[in-house]
Structure 1
Amino acid sequence: MTQGGKIFDELGKLMNNAAGVADGVRREIETAVKSQLERLVADMDLVKREDYDALRELVQAQSAELKELKAQVEGLKSK
């Protein structure tokens, strides 16, 4: 193999190693950021979406029932 070919082979290996290191660093950063965000969200004591939706449905059902009861009361008052 010629001297120029060896240089390109070494340069290719170096670039592959650099890409591997960069990918490892990226994964480490993603893991650290995800961990910090999970800790932040846990500290905020947020309501889960499922709990919010269930409560919203309950409030809507009770609101409809309340309107019916008010209508019945008004009907009884008018008699």
Structure 2
Amino acid sequence: MTQSSKFFDDLGRIMNDAASVADGVRREAETAVRGQMERMVNDLNLVKREDYDALREMVQIQGEEIQALRRELDAFKRTKKTS
């Protein structure tokens, strides 16, 4: 093996090791940031999307029920006035 090919082999190995280390650091950083963001979100007491959607649907249904009851009440009042 010539000295220059050994140099390039060593350089390639060092670069691979550096890439592995950089990837490990990246994963660790992502994990740390994700954990911090989860803690921040939990501290804000935000509503989960599923809970919001369920409540929104319930409010819509109740609004429709209220409108129907108002129509019934108006109809009842009209029949009381005519009798």
Relative to the length of structure 2, the TM-score reads: 0.90
Q: Which residue identity is paired with 2:60? A: Q
**Which structure 1 residue ranges, 5 or more long, are not aligned?**
none
User: 1:77: how far off?
Assistant: 1.5
| Superposition deviation, residue 76 in structure 1 | 1.4
Q: State the 4+ residue runs in structure 1 displaced beyond 3 angstroms.
A: none
Q: Which amino acid aligns with 2:49?
A: R
Equivalent-residue separation in structure 2 for 1:65 and 1:73 (angstroms): 12
* Per-residue deviation, residues 42-69 of structure 1 (Å, max 9, x unmatched): 1001111121111111111111110011
Partner of 1:78: 78
Return the TM-score normalized by structure 1: 0.94
Give the length in aligned residue pairs. 79
Identity between Structure 1 and Structure 2 (%): 59
Separation in 2, partners of 1:6, 1:19: 20
Corresponding residue for 2:57? 57
Mapping 1:1-79, distance limit 5 Å: 1-79=1-79
- Unmatched 5+ residue regions in structure 2? none
CA RMSD of aligned residues (A): 0.8
- Offset of 1:33 from its aligned partner? 0.3
C-alpha separation in 2, matches of 1:50 and 1:6: 60
